[in-house]
Amino acid sequence: MNKKKHIIEVKNLEKRYNKAPGNAVDDVSFYVEEGAFFSLLGPNGAGKTTVISILTTILSKTSGEVQIAGCNAETQADKVRESIGVIFQNPSLDGNLTAEENIRFHANLYGLFPYRPRFVMMDPAYQKKVRQLAEVIGLQNDIFRPVKTLSGGMKRKLEIIRSLMHRPKVLFLDEPTTGLDPISRANLWQYLQEVRRKENTTIFLTTHYLEEAEGSDYICIINKGKIEAKGTPAEIKKVLIEKYISADSGDRQKLIQELKAKKIKFAGTGPFRMELDGKSAHELIAGIKTPLTDLLIYNPTLEQAYVQIISRDLNEK
């Protein structure tokens, strides 16, 4: 098996804001393989934006180690900045400039093309690229309109093509679909998947929508600054989801005796909750002779497991 390069490596990351009583991010470690689609999942206030801010060099950490594309996020910040693109939670477009001027500004900041005061005076390669990208996202008629007149979905797409201008190795997306309608969301994801396929861009997503994370290669669930679970969606399901059977019988005493005799773990006084213990539901039920009056197989979705994790602390309070 060929081992893929870790494009992001985070070790024991900690962040305590000034005058804050506790850590916003507490001993977080994970890595992301090159070309992967990685999701940092968690409720609001879990520390997702803090993590992404540290990874994108705009916030300093309290302790720990962060490497992006082989460079240290603190001491080699400029190198890191060259290899990343970021879509922030709040739109970072200048509403007074046109869509094209926002892209031009970005191209200039990254030294891709020298600055010229008008679009037609810019490098022909730049003009061609902008027209192409505008077409891809269906903005060809609005590219010279001020950004403040564009819809939310359009703005997001504009930010994405802008962040891809310098062909970053890693694209960070901080809750990119917040405030978008379902159609815009679907469009956006379709476009992002296309980019990923073509450019092998690593995608680092933070989201509180589970269904957005479900399509990723690797998920890290974070809550109150701590990692609660990490792995592929399938692994997370396996660890988090407890499948069980709930059953009842007209003759409960007989059922209890039988369950005890067959060493099937159960709980409750009826209906009974029986653990599968590695067996399939069918195997378990087939082994029971006492007539059952009620039978339910519980197979929670990842969504239910996620809600359970993030509400655990709420329940403890």
Partner 1 sequence: MKNNLIAISAIAARDMTKLFRDKTRILASFIFPIIFIGVLGTSLQANLQGSLPYNFLTFVFLGVTAQTLFQSTASGIISLVEDRQNDFAQEMFIAPISRYAIIMGKIVGETAVSLVLILGILAFGIVTGIPLNLPGVVKLIPFFLLIAAFGGAFGMIVMANIREQRSVNQLFPFLIFPQFFLAGVFNPIKQLPLPLLVASRIAPMTYAVDLIRSVYYSGSPEYQYAVLFNPWLNLAVVAGLFAVFFTAGTYLFVKNEKNR
Give the whole-angstrom CA distance, residue 137 versus residue 307.
Answer: 34
What does DSSP assign to residue 270? Answer: S
Give me the least distance between CB of 272 and partner 1, in Å please: 53
Give me the least distance between CB of 227 and partner 1, in Å please: 22
Nearer to partner 1, 60 or 301 (CB): 60
Nearer to partner 1, 105 or 266 (CB): 105
Nearer to partner 1, 79 or 131 (CB): 79
SS3 221: strand
Nearer to partner 1, 144 or 193 (CB): 144
Give me the least distance between CB of 132 and partner 1, in Å please: 21
Sign of CA dihedral 201, 34, 32, 2: positive
Nearer to partner 1, 57 or 202 (CB): 57
Give me the least distance between CB of 150 and partner 1, in Å please: 15
> Pairing state of beta strands 71-72 and 63-68?
antiparallel
Nearer to partner 1, 117 or 278 (CB): 117
Give the whole-angstrom CA distance, residue 176 versus residue 206.
Answer: 8
12, 27 in Cβ contact below 8 A? yes
Give the whole-angstrom CA distance, residue 153 versus residue 151.
Answer: 5
Q: Which residues bind partner 1 (CB under 8 A)?
A: 17-18, 56-60, 78-79, 81-82, 84, 86, 88, 90-97, 101, 104-106, 108-111, 114-115, 117
- Looking at the DSSP bridge assignments, the partners of residue 38 are 204, 218
Nearer to partner 1, 94 or 294 (CB): 94
Packing angle of the helix pair 152-164, 182-199 (nearest 10 deg): 10
Q: Using CA atoms in the order 91, 96, 100, 106, what is the torsion angle rounded to 10 degrees?
A: -60
Nearer to partner 1, 15 or 230 (CB): 15
> Pairing state of beta strands 25-33 and 71-72?
unpaired
Give me the least distance between CB of 138 and partner 1, in Å please: 23
Distance set, CA 5 to CA 22, 33, 83, 164, 167 (Å):
34, 6, 15, 21, 18
- Name the helix (H) or strand (E) containing 210: helix 210-213
Give me the least distance between CB of 100 and partner 1, in Å please: 12
- Name the helix (H) or strand (E) containing 294: strand 294-298
Give the whole-angstrom CA distance, residue 224 versus residue 227.
Answer: 8
